Structure 1
Amino acid sequence: MMVDDLNMRWTHLMVSIPPFRIQIKQWSRRAAGITGLTALISLAVHIAALGYVGADAAPTSMHHEAWLLHRDQPTQPALIGSVDLPQPLSLQVARAARAGRVARAAFGFLPYWIDADYYDSIDFDLLTHIAPFSVEVNRDGSLGDDHGWPWTALVDRAHQHGVRVILTATLFGDEDVGILLENEVYRSRFMRQIRDKIRIGRADGVIIDFEGSGQNGWPDEIGDFLRTLTDYIHAEIPGSEVSFASPAIDWNNRWDFAEIADSCDYLFVMGYAFSGSWSGNTGPTAPLTGPGRTIATMLSDDRDYGQVTRHHPEKLILGVPYYGCQWKTLNGAPGASVEAFVNYPRLSDAVSQASLWGRRWDEQSQTAWYRFQDGEQWLQVWFDDMASLELKYTMALDNNWRGFGMWALGYEGNESAPWQLIERLNGHRVPTLVDLQDIGSVAFQVDPLYPNPFNASIQLTYQVAVAGRVQADLYDMLGRRVRSWSQHLTTAGRFAWRWDGRDRVGAEVASGVYAVLFRYTAGDGSAQTATRRMVLLR
Structure 2
Amino acid sequence: MNHIKFFYKSGGLATLLIILIVGLLPTQTINAQDDSRMGPHEVEWLAHQGEADPILDLTPDAPIQPLVSLRRDPSHVIFGYHPYWNGTSYTSYNYDLLTHLAYFGVEMNSSGQITNSHSWPVTSLINLAHSNGVKVILTVTLFDNADIGTLVGNASYRQAAIDNLITRVIQGNADGVNIDFESVPAGSKTNFNIFIHDLTQAFHDQIPGSETSIAMPSVDWSSSYDYEYLNENCDGLMIMAYAYYWGGSSSAGPVAPLYNGGMASYNIDRTVNSYLTATSNDGSNIFLGLPWYGYNWPVSSTAQNATTTGTGSSIVYSVAEPAANSYGKHYSTDVHSAWYNYTASGQQRQVWYDDSLSLVTKYNYAKTRQLAGIGIWALGYDGNRPEIWGGLNDAFGASTPPLSPGWFYVKNIGDGNVLVHAANSANAESYQLYRSQDAQNFELFREAPSPAFLIDSLPIDTIQYFKLKALNTFGASDFTEVLAVSPFVGQSEVLIVNGFERVSGTTNTFDFVKEHGPAVFAAGYHFDSASNDAIPPDVISLTDYDFVDWISGEEATSNTAFSGSEMDAISVYLESGGRLIISGSEIGWDLEAVGAPQEIDFYHNYFKADYFVDDAGSYEVQAMASGLFNGIPNFHFDDGTHGTYDVDYPDG
TM-score if structure 2 supplies the norm length? 0.58
Aligned to 1:72: 50
2:145 to 149, 163, 174: 174
Contact 1:175 1:216 in 2 (8 A): no
> Residue 414 and residue 107 in structure 1: after superposition, are their counterparts in 2 closer, same or farther (change >3 A)?
same
Aligned to 2:292: 322
Aligned to 2:38: 60
SS of residue paired to 1:224: helix
Contact 1:178 1:216 in 2 (8 A): no
> Residue 492 and residue 280 in structure 1: after superposition, are their counterparts in 2 closer, same or farther (change >3 A)?
farther
CA–CA distance in structure 2, aligned partners of residues 245 and 314 of structure 1: 15
Give the alignment of 1:238-249 within 5 angstroms.
Answer: 238-249=208-219
Give the alignment of 1:404-443 within 5 angstroms.
Answer: 404-427=374-397, 430=403, 436-438=559-561, 442-443=584-585
Aligned to 1:479: none
CA–CA distance in structure 1, aligned partners of residues 147 and 612 of structure 2: 43
CA–CA distance in structure 2, aligned partners of residues 306 and 97 of structure 1: 35
SS of residue paired to 2:214: strand
**1:305 to partner: Cα distance:** 4.0
CA–CA distance in structure 2, aligned partners of residues 418 and 529 of structure 1: 47
Contact 1:299 1:309 in 2 (8 A): no
2:136 matched to 1:165?
A: yes
Give the alignment of 1:380-419 within 5 angstroms.
Answer: 380-419=350-389
Aligned to 2:78: 106
1:137 to 101, 108, 133: 108
Contact 2:56 2:87 in 1 (8 A): no
**1:240 to partner: Cα distance:** 2.2
Contact 1:286 1:384 in 2 (8 A): yes
**1:97 to partner: Cα distance:** 4.2
**1:148 to partner: Cα distance:** 0.6
> Residue 171 and residue 309 in structure 1: after superposition, are their counterparts in 2 closer, same or farther (change >3 A)?
farther
Aligned to 2:327: 357
Contact 1:298 1:306 in 2 (8 A): no
Q: Which amino acid aligns with 2:107?
A: E
CA–CA distance in structure 1, aligned partners of residues 189 and 225 of structure 2: 6
- Deviation string for 1:415-440 (max 9, x for gaps)? 11111111121126649798921289
Contact 1:204 1:240 in 2 (8 A): yes
2:228 to 230, 235, 258: 258
CA–CA distance in structure 1, aligned partners of residues 149 and 115 of structure 2: 17
Give the alignment of 1:15-414 within 5 angstroms.
Answer: 60-79=38-57, 81-89=59-67, 93-94=68-69, 96-98=70-72, 102-114=74-86, 116=88, 118-212=89-183, 214-290=184-260, 291-301=264-274, 304-308=275-279, 310-311=281-282, 313-414=283-384
- Deviation string for 1:447-483 (max 9, x for gaps)? 3559xxxxxxxx993237xxxxxxxxxxxxxxxxxxx
SS of residue paired to 1:461: coil
Structure 2 gap segments, 5+ residues each:
1-23, 408-532, 534-555, 564-582, 595-610, 623-638
> Residue 97 and residue 61 in structure 1: after superposition, are their counterparts in 2 closer, same or farther (change >3 A)?
farther
CA–CA distance in structure 1, aligned partners of residues 612 and 310 of structure 2: 63
Q: Which amino acid aligns with 1:424?
A: D
> Residue 432 and residue 74 in structure 1: after superposition, are their counterparts in 2 closer, same or farther (change >3 A)?
farther
- Deviation string for 1:204-226 (max 9, x for gaps)? 111111111x4442243222211
- Deviation string for 1:380-412 (max 9, x for gaps)? 111111111011100111222111110000011
SS of residue paired to 1:344: strand
Aligned to 1:10: none
> Residue 124 and residue 146 in structure 1: after superposition, are their counterparts in 2 closer, same or farther (change >3 A)?
same
**1:527 to partner: Cα distance:** 9.9
CA–CA distance in structure 1, aligned partners of residues 100 and 298 of structure 2: 37
Aligned to 2:615: 463
**1:177 to partner: Cα distance:** 0.4
Contact 1:327 1:379 in 2 (8 A): yes
SS of residue paired to 2:362: helix
Q: Which amino acid aligns with 2:167?
A: D
Give the alignment of 1:445-524 within 5 angstroms.
Answer: 447=589, 461-463=613-615, 491=619
Q: Which amino acid aligns with 2:265?
A: G
> Residue 115 and residue 143 in structure 1: after superposition, are their counterparts in 2 closer, same or farther (change >3 A)?
closer
Q: Which amino acid aligns with 1:297?
A: R
Of structures 1 and 2, the larger Rg is shown by 2
CA–CA distance in structure 1, aligned partners of residues 296 and 337 of structure 2: 14
> Residue 210 and residue 134 in structure 1: after superposition, are their counterparts in 2 closer, same or farther (change >3 A)?
same
CA–CA distance in structure 2, aligned partners of residues 362 and 196 of structure 1: 47
Aligned to 1:501: none
> Residue 175 and residue 410 in structure 1: after superposition, are their counterparts in 2 closer, same or farther (change >3 A)?
same
> Residue 528 and residue 150 in structure 1: after superposition, are their counterparts in 2 closer, same or farther (change >3 A)?
farther
CA–CA distance in structure 1, aligned partners of residues 620 and 360 of structure 2: 54
**1:21 to partner: Cα distance:** 9.5
CA–CA distance in structure 2, aligned partners of residues 525 and 202 of structure 1: 27
Contact 1:308 1:315 in 2 (8 A): no
CA–CA distance in structure 2, aligned partners of residues 232 and 250 of structure 1: 27
CA–CA distance in structure 1, aligned partners of residues 138 and 647 of structure 2: 21
CA–CA distance in structure 2, aligned partners of residues 126 and 62 of structure 1: 25
**1:163 to partner: Cα distance:** 0.5
> Residue 525 and residue 347 in structure 1: after superposition, are their counterparts in 2 closer, same or farther (change >3 A)?
farther
- Deviation string for 1:131-163 (max 9, x for gaps)? 000111111001110101111001111111111
CA–CA distance in structure 2, aligned partners of residues 529 and 360 of structure 1: 63
Q: Which amino acid aligns with 1:62?
A: P
**1:276 to partner: Cα distance:** 0.9
CA–CA distance in structure 2, aligned partners of residues 278 and 264 of structure 1: 34
Contact 2:246 2:312 in 1 (8 A): no
More helix by share: 1
CA–CA distance in structure 1, aligned partners of residues 620 and 279 of structure 2: 49
TM-score if structure 1 supplies the norm length? 0.70
Worse-matched range after superposition: 327-336 or 161-170: 327-336
**1:320 to partner: Cα distance:** 0.2
CA–CA distance in structure 2, aligned partners of residues 404 and 415 of structure 1: 20
CA–CA distance in structure 2, aligned partners of residues 21 and 171 of structure 1: 28
**1:339 to partner: Cα distance:** 1.1
SS of residue paired to 1:134: strand
- Deviation string for 1:482-503 (max 9, x for gaps)? xxxxxxx784679xxxxxxxxx
CA–CA distance in structure 1, aligned partners of residues 203 and 612 of structure 2: 27
**1:181 to partner: Cα distance:** 0.1
Q: Which amino acid aligns with 1:104?
A: H
Contact 1:130 1:166 in 2 (8 A): yes
Aligned to 1:498: none
> Residue 437 and residue 528 in structure 1: after superposition, are their counterparts in 2 closer, same or farther (change >3 A)?
farther
